[in-house]
Amino acid sequence: MNTIEDALAAILEGIEPLEPEWAPLADAAGRVAAEDAAAAVDLPPFDRSAMDGYAVRAADTASGAPLRLEGGVAAGEVTSAEVAPGTAATISTGAALPPGADAILQSELAAVADGQVTPERALEPGTHVRVRGEDLRAGDVLVRAGERLTVPRLSALASAGVGEVAVHRRPRLHLAVTGSELLSLGAPPEPGRIHESNGLMVGLLARRAGADVIDQGVVPDDRAATYTAVERGLQGDVLVVSGGVSVGPHDHVKPAFEACGVEEVLWRVEIKPGKPLWFGRKGRTLVFGLPGNPLSSIVCFSVFIEPALRRLQGERDARPAFSRGRLTAPAGPSDDRTTFLTSKIVPGADGVLEATPTERQGSHMTGALGESDGFAVAPHGSGPLAEVRFAPARQTARRRRSTRRAAAPSRGGRSRSRRSGRARR
């Protein structure tokens, strides 16, 4: 049987990030940059006032010496009228400095009367002036290829005049849920049948992990139907088939994979729940056979499928990130497999996460998911645990410098300047 590490390595091996595409900033959130993204403009783009007040020549300012008020400039305007010696122009916060001015006299330090403004004291040149380019220069790289586009980074790109960024396209994930016993969500109960939940769960998790999901719905335990679903699903970047990967007379999934030319990479992992996981490839399509049990499915998805989806989207180190914490009661692996224990997880008084395994454990205890926040992970051979790792509850961005450049995405005929500025020579 494969260890978790070996299985993960075999799955991630050779996965290349999907080709880049241009995405508007709002659609790029949480995705990975496929190219460096650089500022398109200087920031600030022009010398601008940091205060409401008066644009002046610093050399003309002295305590109690009035300046004649001439003209003004509001945010969004520009003026070519020079601030002549001995004069001042009204200016609002964010407005471009008029020619001749080199300092801002803030309103609070000025007395205005009879068309004149009198400073309380002399100003240094540059007072309350935000100088062009003091924050960023056009061409400065803000996000490197391989880095995740977080909301703060997207905000910086927006400020720097960028409208679109190159990201790896989303993986298309085909999902087929097998089982003749499965009732659709909320359907009236029927004898001998159970409500399906895996399709819902895997679909939601896959979308959260950035995939476009093509849901084929429930497929009966039937040879021909399974074959058709697999064949269709192989058009995607990833095919996930839930259930039917065991060796029972009604398990048609492995024969269907074989008949469709999917090459087996691994079957069975030392993980509890989730042992019957199957993984193979056909060409560039990654094919997962998930154990039908919902607990097995959520564990296998988090540990194996989500990393594969993240790798396809360009994340360099896509292995699952675990949080550390402590147990509130003794627990440990229940056999020689690494055991994932459904647990309530809340921060303790000192802020460290504390896990309390739910009373019900076992892959058939799907209701226990309802009272759990995640999984305490008990590595095989670890004995009773005092300290635990938690299964990934959220996507964590890891920043890595890119060593390779991704292929340039197609431009679609639009100008580059709207996206990101060229790097400075």
HSE-up (13 A, CA, CB side) for residue 342: 20
DSSP SS3 for 375: strand
Q: Which is nearer to ligand AMP, 79 or 198 (CB)?
A: 198
Q: Dihedral sign for Cα 32, 37, 41, 42, please.
A: positive
Judged by CB, which is closer to ligand AMP: 157, or 176? Answer: 176
The secondary structure of 197-223, three-state, reads CHHHHHHHHHHHCCCEEEEEEEECCCH
Per-residue binder mask for Mg ion (CB under 5 A), 235-264, x = binder? --------xx--------------------
Q: Name the 3-class secondary structure at 346.
A: strand
Residue placing its CB nearer to ligand AMP in the complex, 146 or 244: 244
Taking CB under 6 A as the criterion, the residue among 233, 243, 273, 274 binding ligand AMP is: 243
List the structure tokens of 283: 């060409």
Count residues contacting ligand AMP (CB under 6 A)? 17
Work out how close the CB of 250 gets to Mg ion at its nearest, in angstroms, rounded to a whole number: 6
Pick 115 or 248: Cβ nearer Mg ion? 248
Walk across the sheet containing 285-290 and list its strands. 212-219, 172-178, 238-242, 285-290, 278-282, 263-267
- Which is closer to Mg ion, CB of 244 or CB of 307? 244
d(CA 153, CA 149): 6
- The answer to whether the beta carbons of residues 157 and 136 sit under 8 Å apart is no
Tell me how far apart the alpha carbons of residues 201 and 145 are, in angstroms, rounded to a whole number.
31
Residue 325 touches which of Mg ion, ligand AMP, none (CB < 5 to 8 A by kind)?
Answer: none
Question: Contact between 198 and ligand AMP (CB under 6 A)?
Answer: yes
Identify what 79 binds: ligand AMP, Mg ion, none; CB under 5 to 8 Å per kind: none
Which residue from 82, 181, 212, 222 is in contact with ligand AMP, where contact means CB under 6 A? 181
Check if the beta carbon of residue 335 is closer than 8 Å to that of residue 397.
no
CB of 198: closest distance to Mg ion in angstroms?
10
Among ligand AMP, Mg ion, none, the one that 242 touches (CB under a kind-dependent 5 to 8 A) is ligand AMP
C-beta of 244 vs 314, nearer to Mg ion = 244
Q: Return residues touching Mg ion (CB under 5 A).
A: 179, 243-244, 292
